[in-house]
Amino acid sequence: MPSTSVEPCTFALFGALGDLALRKLFPALYQLDRAELLHDDTRILALAREAGTPQQHLANIEEHLRLFVAKAQIEEATLSRFLARIAYVHVDFMNEADYVNLAEQIGPAEQVIAYFATPAAVYGAICENLHKVGLADRCRVVLEKPIGHDLASSRRVNDAVAQYFPENRTYRIDHYLGKETVQNLIALRFANSLFETQWNQNYISHVEITVAEEVGIEGRWGYFDKAGQLRDMIQNHLLQLLCLIAMDPPADLSADSIRDEKVKVLKALAPISAEGLTTQVVRGQYIAGYSQGKAVPGYLEEENSNTQSDTETFVALRADIRNWRWAGVPFYLRTGKRMPQKLSQIVIHFKEPQHYIFAPEQRLQISNKLIIRLQPDEGISLRVMTKEQGLDKGMQLRSGPLQLNFSDTYRSARIPDAYERLLLEVMQGNQNLFVRKDEIEYAWKWCDQLIAGWKKSGDAPKPYAAGSWGPMSSIALITRDGRSWYGDI
Ligand code: BG6
């Protein structure tokens, strides 16, 4: 196999037997190998502290690969080559002696990528131990979310890592940034002069960002109940999407140019007042209902649940950005578990034409919408106004789509999983798709005020039936402003 332009490295995967590693990271590394994007000399060290023999663990990894990679993409020769790259090493993350053993497995000149698929509480200890055995200086660290559960705890984690790793070797994951369609937001906005001239409060009335999931908690109650939907989804994925839509054009595509612009947006987010908590934010928790026609339990009846929990599984809110470009343009964000379908979508609603010449009763329908489907059915659709066809129709207007569906248009290309892109970028040393420390901190700062407000009010989340679009008050949230959520009711 030809070596690629990607430098060789030793990929040290901490937490190699965890759910994330087995479901996402090994399959992503396999796909990179399959696409010949791993250097011949790249090795993978699977690090974990579970009991069992290396052979058993490697067999487990292979079994999961066969489960999580689509059958058609399992090529036996590539799989053997890939598995031959992996060595299992027993490492207790807190035990320095195990790192001495680890260091002995890594040649003196090898570039190391240390991926922490572990709880953030041990990031500091891993970094310190990597430093003690002399690996830190030639190592990039990759940190999984969640980094902390509020501003103070995220600072503690970031500071612990920063003692040994400078920012330019720290890669904080938000896997949404690795999605092809999310990267496409940059292309759509800045490679087309058509949109950028309209991208402001003069032409846009409001923006909707929906990230809905059909699944419930899926055995993750222990983690999720301490987090809730605001920390799990809004603090990171939805605010990152908001930043990519709202930011000013960066001077270039370098990591810091893009991140500087995103930070400006986060700094401009208006805090939500105590009154705003009741009028512009809705928290929900699902109760029993139906998903794909099958009865499903409520959040409080899920496996290992605590029947008293008031953790939210749904959030809808109106965010306002206090700057010249977006003054008076609300961003409606909505995300929840156990929604009717999996759907991540951004809808940009343009304002009506300034001078209106059509029949007054048609006025309400008139507005262009740019719909960006992030998943599934990735694509872009621009709703434009046209005249109804037919002699009997007069100048009756209707809205129709100009459509770009990525899978139809680019038939040959498989849409890579976000982690494939992100792992490749780390190996290439590109930080564009990773989150800088200050971005995480401003996002936490904004979310912390909401969490504090909820705590103070003591209000329980509003119930919604599994399989619905959330509590009725999330519909009222937007109708109060004379609008409705696009297309889902
Ligand atoms: C993760 C959250 O970050 O994103 C999960 O912790 C959520 O709760 C997941 O299910 C959604 O990711 P995706 O790529 O399936 O939209």
pLDDT of residue 406: 81
Question: If you take atom 10 of ligand 1, which residue's CA is the nearest one?
Answer: 213
pLDDT of residue 364: 65
159 three-state secondary structure? helix
**How does pLDDT run across 426-450, given as a tens digit for each residue?**
999 999 999 999 999 999 999 999 9
Residue 94's contacts (CB-CB under 8 Å, 6 or more residues apart) are 122, 125
Of residues 230, 321, 235, the one with CA closest to residue 270: 321
Of residues 55, 52, 241, 20, the one with CA closest to residue 145: 20
Decide whether any atom of ligand 1 lies within 6 Å of the 420 Cβ: no
Residue 135's contacts (CB-CB under 8 Å, 6 or more residues apart) are 99, 102, 103, 106, 112, 114
pLDDT of residue 489: 44
The catalytically annotated residue of 90, 149, 206, 237 is 237
Q: How far apart are CA 100 and CA 106, in angstroms?
A: 10
Distances from the Cα of 75 to the Cαs of 37, 69, 71, in angstroms? 16, 10, 9
Q: How far apart are CA 283 and CA 314, in angstroms?
A: 6
pLDDT of residue 3: 43
What is the DSSP-derived secondary structure letter of residue 321? B
pLDDT of residue 1: 40
CA of 134 from ligand 1 middle (Å) equals 35
What is the rounded average pLDDT of the residues 201-208?
97
Question: If you take atom 15 of ligand 1, which residue's CA is the nearest one?
Answer: 213
pLDDT of residue 264: 98
pTM: 0.95
Residue 156 confidence class, pLDDT cut points 50, 70, 90:
very high
The answer to whether the CB of 181 falls within 8 A of the CB of 320 is no
What is the rounded average pLDDT of the residues 176-195?
93
CA of 299 from ligand 1 middle (Å) equals 17
pLDDT of residue 362: 77
Q: How far apart are CA 467 and CA 338, in angstroms?
A: 5
**How does pLDDT run across 255-292, given as a tens digit for each residue?**
999 999 999 999 999 999 988 999 999 999 999 999 98
Question: If you take atom 14 of ligand 1, which residue's CA is the nearest one?
Answer: 176
CA of 317 from ligand 1 middle (Å) equals 19
Decide whether any atom of ligand 1 lies within 6 Å of the 213 Cβ: yes
DSSP 217-228: -TT-HHHHHHHH
Expressed in angstroms, the distance from the first to the final Cα of the chain is 52
The atom of ligand 1 lying closest to the CA of 344 is 16
Residue 341 confidence class, pLDDT cut points 50, 70, 90:
very high
Decide whether any atom of ligand 1 lies within 6 Å of the 180 Cβ: no
The atom of ligand 1 lying closest to the CA of 227 is 6
Of residues 413, 396, 14, the one with CA closest to residue 184: 413
The answer to whether the CB of 141 falls within 8 A of the CB of 165 is yes
The answer to whether the CB of 185 falls within 8 A of the CB of 245 is yes
Place of tokens 């489907």: 373
Residue from 236, 237, 373, 415 to probe ligand 1 pocket by mutation (most atoms less than 8 Å from CB): 237
**How does pLDDT run across 262-271, given as a tens digit for each residue?**
999 999 999 9
For the chain, how are helix, strand and coil distributed in percent, rounded to 5?
40, 20, 35
Q: Is 131 a catalytic residue?
A: no
**How does pLDDT run across 468-489, given as a tens digit for each residue?**
999 999 999 999 999 999 985 4
Tokens of 341: 């379908």
Question: If you take atom 9 of ligand 1, which residue's CA is the nearest one?
Answer: 233
- Tell me the pLDDT of the chain averaged across its residues: 93
CA of 416 from ligand 1 middle (Å) equals 16
Residue 2 confidence class, pLDDT cut points 50, 70, 90:
very low
pLDDT of residue 377: 84
CA of 270 from ligand 1 middle (Å) equals 26
Decide whether any atom of ligand 1 lies within 6 Å of the 174 Cβ: no
Decide whether any atom of ligand 1 lies within 6 Å of the 417 Cβ: no
- Is residue 288 classed exposed, middle or buried when 0-12, 13-18 and 19+ CB atoms within 10 A define those classes? middle
Q: How far apart are CA 319 and CA 206, in angstroms?
A: 10
**How does pLDDT run across 217-246, given as a tens digit for each residue?**
888 888 899 999 999 999 999 999 999 999
- Is residue 39 classed exposed, middle or buried when 0-12, 13-18 and 19+ CB atoms within 10 A define those classes? middle
Residues shown for the chain: 489
Decide whether any atom of ligand 1 lies within 6 Å of the 302 Cβ: no
**How does pLDDT run across 24-81, given as a tens digit for each residue?**
999 999 999 999 999 999 999 999 999 899 999 999 999 999 999 999 999 999 999 9
**How does pLDDT run across 363-415, given as a tens digit for each residue?**
766 789 999 999 888 899 999 988 888 888 888 888 889 998 887 777 667 88
pLDDT of residue 397: 87
CA of 211 from ligand 1 middle (Å) equals 9
Residue 307's contacts (CB-CB under 8 Å, 6 or more residues apart) are 300
